[in-house]
């Protein structure tokens, strides 16, 4: 049995989706709302790709995501003073900061990464990254497709992103009268 036959004849696991195409229909993506590369689509203006949450339940990150056969790339935005609570995912990741500065930690090591800095996040490493309060951050996320772009918060809750002091969501005010 060849490696290709072995990969295609294995039993699907929970949440697994076929990575093949059927006719002109692109294969489903692991990340809901992501764009599938291939089948004549080989160039993408990342800033214009439909935006999806990139850390639903634990991060403010969102942006366009393109998935290939084995990798995904995201053009990710974190508004100033917001970011991810401590989380993990089974896929390793690289984040290339394009604009702004990310601060936080990876595997217990402090990180401060400005534009032009590459952050490496090993598979299953606990990490948190937040944009500084002075400006929004744009970064390129590159991950293998052992799972989607999403992870899980270490504390087991999916109760929302992390906010720097003074940068939280706007509070709803009561109107009188």
Residue 174 has pLDDT above 60, yes or no: no
Cα(114)–Cα(117) distance, integer angstroms? 6
Q: Is residue 52 part of a domain?
A: yes
Domain at 100, CATH number = 2.60.120.10
| Of residues 16, 40, 45, the one with CA closest to residue 30 | 16
Q: Is residue 133 part of a domain?
A: yes
| Of residues 150, 141, 154, the one with CA closest to residue 86 | 154
Q: Is residue 83 part of a domain?
A: yes
Q: What is the pLDDT of residue 124?
A: 97
| Of residues 19, 83, 32, 59, the one with CA closest to residue 151 | 59
Q: For 129-149, what is each residue's pLDDT tens digit?
A: 999 999 999 999 999 999 999
Domain that holds residue 131: 27-163
Token match 């989706």: residue? 17
Q: Is residue 48 part of a domain?
A: yes
Cα(18)–Cα(34) distance, integer angstroms? 15
In sequence order, what are the beta bridge partners of 12? none
Helix (H) or strand (E) holding 5: helix 3-9
Q: For 46-66, what is each residue's pLDDT tens digit?
A: 999 999 999 889 999 999 999
Q: Is residue 21 part of a domain?
A: no
Cα(83)–Cα(86) distance, integer angstroms? 10
Q: Is residue 2 part of a domain?
A: no
Q: For 86-110, what is each residue's pLDDT tens digit?
A: 999 999 999 999 999 999 999 999 9
Q: Is residue 19 part of a domain?
A: no
Q: Which two tokens stand for residue 170?
A: 């706007």
How many domains is the chain built from?
A: 1
| Confidence class for position 165, pLDDT limits 50, 70, 90 | confident
Cα(137)–Cα(114) distance, integer angstroms? 9
| Confidence class for position 25, pLDDT limits 50, 70, 90 | low
Q: Is residue 128 part of a domain?
A: yes
């Amino acid at each position: 049995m060849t490696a290709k036959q072995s990969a295609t004849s294995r039993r699907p696991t929970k949440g697994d989706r076929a990575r093949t195409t059927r006719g002109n229909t692109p294969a489903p993506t692991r990340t809901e709302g992501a764009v599938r590369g291939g089948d004549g689509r080989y160039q993408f203006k990342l800033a214009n790709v439909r935006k999806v949450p990139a850390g639903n339940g634990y991060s403010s990150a969102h942006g366009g995501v393109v998935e290939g056969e084995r990798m995904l790339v995201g053009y990710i935005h974190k508004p100033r003073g917001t970011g991810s609570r401590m989380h993990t995912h089974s896929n390793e990741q690289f984040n290339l900061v394009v604009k702004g500065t990310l601060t936080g930690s990876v595997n217990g090591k402090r990180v401060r990464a400005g534009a032009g800095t590459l952050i490496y996040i090993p598979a299953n490493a606990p990490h948190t990254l937040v944009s500084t309060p002075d400006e929004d951050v744009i970064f390129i996320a590159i991950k293998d497709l052992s799972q989607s772009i999403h992870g899980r918060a270490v504390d087991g809750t999916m109760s929302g992103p992390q906010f720097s002091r003074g940068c939280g969501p706007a509070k709803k005010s009561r109107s009188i009268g």
